[in-house]
Structure 1
Amino acid sequence: MSKRQFSLAHLTALPLSPPELVYMAATTGYDFVSIRPIHLGLPNEPNYDLAKNKQMLADTKQALNETGVGLLDIELAKVADGIDPTVYEPAFEVAAELGGRHVLSSIWTNDRQFAREGFAKICELAKPYGLTVELEFVPIAAVSNLKQAVDVLRDTGCENAGLLIDAHHFHRALVKIEDLEGLPREWFHYFHLCDAGKHIPNNREELTRIMREERLYVGEGGIPLQDILKRLPNMPYSLEIPHMRRAKEIGYETHVRQCLESAKAYLNKYVHLGY
């Protein structure tokens, strides 16, 4: 990749429907979008199940075609007790129809065997659609740190599996920078870029609130982003920077534009292409 590419992650502007997100990404200068067509049933989360909402699917496809913005990934195919991974296949079909590349996954069950079988099944289901499955460790999930995620990837050995690192989760999980060294570079397909305060909350509710509602622009917080990124290959950056108060005050267009401007400014200053 000869230049940096950026995706507008859906969580950054979740009230926008997928087609609205595409037009917003085009207006503000992004290369891709990352959408959430798998409904998780979380409180106050909109339902963008494109496999069932055919009109919204058609509108999303039209928006992508009109703007030239690409679909980087979809989320979230979680591995959790009581969820049959086959329920995600309609979303994989949607992703392929829209030209998507990756599926984001995370593990929320403490049943080790079930976790590995579930993740492997998701990879198997995604493979015919030309999708890779990116395992993300999340501090509040069962697979909560880098070592656990690496263990799952090595144990399952799926050829279309990858590792998704989110800057917020990396910092909150107390991962050591040097633990990135020696990991297979082919595991890395994109990166969740954001910033957050240096202080790590010890309260799960506050940790979750910041994660979903109050991340900071790149370079504004205390995460050692420069040290992290210098140890990773150049790949697309999905800007997952939800900040509900800011978005309400300045509007989503200004917010997502400032997300991109802060990321470009930081990377141009501290992280050189070709690292």
Structure 2
Amino acid sequence: MSRLLSIAAGVSPDVGPADFVTSAAAAGWPACGIWFDPDTWSDAVAADVRRRLDDTGLVALDIEPVFVSVGDDGSTVDVGDRVIDAAAEIGARNVLVVARGAEPGPFAERLAQLCDRAAPAGINCVIEFMAFMSTTDLASAVDVVGSIDRPNAGILVDNLHLARTGSAPDELRALDPAWLPYAQLCDAPADLAADSIADVVTEALDGRLAPGEGGLPVAEVLDALPDDTPLSMEVRSKALRDDHPDPTERARTLFAATLRFMKEYEA
């Protein structure tokens, strides 16, 4: 298999980042995501995460999130500098950035600053678009990344958000492959039963399925991505958490489902 497979941090929001590394490794994953909680992240947490990554050999594909919002004076506000420093310390390859209230111009300016801070450590800053954030769709993300001259700026394509914001997989073929350092993958029903923003949020946080278990054009997204794009399995699912309260068993179940799908896809 040519693609690096990773389990996204959102699969286990009930598990701290260091323990998540351990459970992912025990389940057989070669890579994982790391969740950055600004209220609990510390030098000790970073050291523990790095130690477990080193001990298990897992790749830290990404660390998330950086929410770029707007302060009372109109300037952008975020903890991005801290997240990038944490990424450099643990060896994460990508930092996930989201515009939460920031307009395109100020967001692009802040993204450029984050890219400059991340560049010496070889870290990419990727923006994720979603209907309920300020960068709402693929076209908006393309506009932001295209407006800054930063080789480590990119776009994180989550195939659920791609579908729910009205884009087709073939639109990915027009993007510069350098803008796609990794992608997030899951499945879901082909159509959302209701279309309010609250329903979209609920599905994104709790209603996802493993690849191959729903009706989204998952294979078509893979066809449109570069062949070596790493894949983060962003299966945020209340059902998965309820059925598998043990995080290692949860990770193992998702890994098995992912491997089945990839085997069928590559056949």
TM-score (norm 2): 0.91
Mean Cα deviation higher: 77-86 or 95-104: 77-86
1:241 to 235, 241, 266: 235
CA distance in 1 between counterparts of 2:40 and 2:210 reads: 26
1:44 aligns to what? none
Tell me the residue number matched to 2:195: 202
Other-structure match for 2:249: 254
Q: What is the aligned-residue RMSD (CA, Å)?
A: 1.8
Tell me if 1:115 matches 2:74. Answer: no
Specify which of 93, 101, 104 is matched with residue 85 of structure 2: 93
Q: Does 1:153 align with 2:152?
A: no
Runs (5+) with no aligned partner, structure 1: 40-46
2:117 corresponding residue in structure 1: 125
2:11 matched to 1:25? no
Tell me the secondary structure at the aligned position of residue 99 of structure 2. coil
Q: What secondary structure, in the 3-state scheme, does the structure 2 residue paired with 1:142 have?
A: coil
> Where does residue 162 of structure 1 map in the other structure?
154
Between 104-113 and 190-199, report the one with greater CA deviation: 104-113
Any conservation in 2 of the 1:85–1:118 contact (CA below 8 Å)?
A: no
Deviations 1:209-262 (A, max 9, x none): 111112111111111011111011122111111112331232232222222222
Unpaired runs of 5+ residues, structure 2, are none
C-alpha displacement of 1:133? 0.6
One-letter amino acid matched to 2:173:
E
Conserved in 1, the CA contact under 8 Å of 2:207 and 2:237?
yes
How many residues were matched structurally?
261
Contact 1:33–1:69 under 8 Å retained in 2: yes
Which residue of structure 2 aligns with residue 69 of structure 1? Answer: 58
The corresponding residue for 1:6 is: 5
Conserved 8 A contact 1:85-1:121:
no
Partner of 1:56: 45
> SS of 1:78's equivalent?
strand
Shift of 1:74: 0.7
Moved more, 105-114 or 63-72: 105-114
- Supply the distance in 1 between the matched residues of 2:76 and 2:134 (Cα, whole angstroms): 17
Q: 1:21 to 1:152 in 2, by over 3 A?
A: same
Whole-angstrom distance in 2 between the partners of 1:111 and 1:88: 17
Contact 1:136 1:149 in 2 (8 A): yes
Partners of 1:77 and 1:104 within 8 A in 2: yes
Corresponding residue number in structure 2 for 1:176:
168
AA in 1 matched with 2:237: H
1:3-59: per-residue Cα shift (whole Å, max 9, x none)?
A: 2321121110011111100111111111111112143xxxxxxx542xxx2322222
User: Structure 1 residues 139-148 or 77-86, which shifts more?
Assistant: 77-86
Deviation at 1:183, TM superposition (A): 1.1
Residues 97-144 of structure 1 deviation map (CA, whole Å, 9 limit, x = unaligned): 111111111222352321221222221222233211111111111111
Whole-angstrom CA distance in 2 between matches of 1:126 and 1:81:
22
Q: Which runs of 4+ in 1 moved over 4 A?
A: 83-86
Is contact 2:50-2:91 (8 Å) kept? no
User: By percentage of residues, which structure has more strand?
Assistant: 2
Specify the code of the residue in structure 2 equivalent to 1:21: F
Is the 1:38–1:91 Cα contact (8 Å) retained in structure 2?
no
Shift in alpha-carbon separation, 1:112–1:91, aligned structure 2, 3 A: closer
- SS of 2:100's partner is coil
User: How far off is 1:155 after superposition?
Assistant: 1.1
Contact kept, 8 Å, 1:92 with 1:129, in 2: the verdict is no
Shift of 1:160: 0.9
